[in-house]
Amino acid sequence: MSAGHAPSYYAATANAWESIPAVAEPANVDIAVIGGGFTGLSAALACAEKGFKVALYEAQRIGFGASGRNGGQLIPGLRWSMREIETEFGHDRAKAIFDLAYGAVGRVHDRIQKHRIACDLKSGHLEAAYKTAHFENMQRDAEFLARAYGWSADIVQPKDMRRHINGGGYHGAIYDPRGGHFHPLNYALGLAQAARDAGVVIYENSRVNLPDVKAHTIILATDTWMGELAPDLGRYTVPIMNYNIATAPLPHADALLPSDAAVADSRFVLNYFRLSADKRLLFGGGEKYVQRPPADIGAFVRKHIVKVFPSLADTAIDYAWGGAVGVTMNRLPHLGRRQASSGQTIFFAHGFSGHGALVTTLAGELLAEAVAGTMERFDVFASLPQRPFPGGRLLARPLATLGLLWYALRDRI
Ligand X SMILES: Cc1cc2nc3c(=O)[nH]c(=O)nc-3n(C[C@H](O)[C@H](O)[C@H](O)COP(=O)(O)OP(=O)(O)OC[C@H]3O[C@@H](n4cnc5c(N)ncnc54)[C@H](O)[C@@H]3O)c2cc1C
Q: Measuring CA to CA, which residue among 51, 41, 140 is closest to residue 87?
A: 140
User: Does residue 22 sit in helix, strand or coil?
Assistant: coil
| Distance of closest approach, residue 346 Cβ to ligand X, in angstroms | 14
- Cα 95 to Cα 74, 101, 148: the distances in Å are 21, 10, 9
Residue nearest to ligand X (CB): 356
CB atoms closer than 10 angstroms to residue 313: 9
Q: 378 Cβ partners below 8 Å, 6+ apart?
A: 335, 366, 367, 369, 370
Written as one string, the DSSP assignment of 344-388 is -EEEEEE--TT-HHHHHHHHHHHHHHHHTT--HHHHHHHTS---P
Does position 235 interact with ligand X (CB under 6 A)? The reply is no
CB atoms closer than 10 angstroms to residue 169: 11
Does position 298 interact with ligand X (CB under 6 A)? The reply is no
Strand-pairing partners, residue 338, are 346
Contact flags string 372-401 toward ligand X, x per CB under 6 A: ------------------------------
* Binders in 257-276 for ligand X, by CB under 6 A: 272
- Cα 154 to Cα 33, 103, 197, 218, 246: the distances in Å are 40, 19, 40, 43, 28
Among the listed residues 6, 10, 33, 40, the single contact to ligand X using CB under 6 A:
40
Among the listed residues 32, 200, 221, 362, the single contact to ligand X using CB under 6 A:
221
| Distance of closest approach, residue 105 Cβ to ligand X, in angstroms | 11
Residues 54 and 61: their CA atoms lie apart, in Å, by: 18
Does position 218 interact with ligand X (CB under 6 A)? The reply is no
| Distance of closest approach, residue 213 Cβ to ligand X, in angstroms | 9
| Distance of closest approach, residue 364 Cβ to ligand X, in angstroms | 8
Q: Which stretch binds ligand X (CB under 6 A): 13-21, 23-31, 351-359, 376-384?
A: 351-359
Half-sphere exposure of 246 (CA within 13 A, CB side): 23
| Distance of closest approach, residue 92 Cβ to ligand X, in angstroms | 26
Does position 139 interact with ligand X (CB under 6 A)? The reply is no
Q: At what angle do helices 91-114 and 132-149 cross, to 10 degrees?
A: 90
Among the listed residues 325, 368, 371, 384, the single contact to ligand X using CB under 6 A:
325
Does position 67 interact with ligand X (CB under 6 A)? The reply is yes
Does position 71 interact with ligand X (CB under 6 A)? The reply is yes
- Residue 86 or residue 223: which is nearer to ligand X going by CB? 223
Identity at 86, one-letter amino acid code? E
Q: Which stretch binds ligand X (CB under 6 A): 53-61, 103-111, 127-135, 287-295?
A: 53-61
313 DSSP 8-state letter: T
Among the listed residues 109, 207, 377, 397, the single contact to ligand X using CB under 6 A:
207
Does position 37 interact with ligand X (CB under 6 A)? The reply is yes
Does position 208 interact with ligand X (CB under 6 A)? The reply is yes
- Residue 15 or residue 158: which is nearer to ligand X going by CB? 15
Among the listed residues 8, 13, 39, 217, the single contact to ligand X using CB under 6 A:
39
| Distance of closest approach, residue 265 Cβ to ligand X, in angstroms | 12
Residues 24 and 208: their CA atoms lie apart, in Å, by: 11
Residues 19 and 204: their CA atoms lie apart, in Å, by: 7
| Distance of closest approach, residue 91 Cβ to ligand X, in angstroms | 26
Longest dimension (CA), the chain: 62
| Distance of closest approach, residue 356 Cβ to ligand X, in angstroms | 2
Does position 319 interact with ligand X (CB under 6 A)? The reply is no
Q: Measuring CA to CA, which residue among 357, 324, 353, 323 is closest to residue 7?
A: 323
Residues that bind ligand X (CB under 6 A): 34-40, 57-60, 64-67, 69-73, 75, 207-208, 221-223, 225, 228-229, 242, 244, 272, 284, 323-325, 350, 352, 354-357, 360
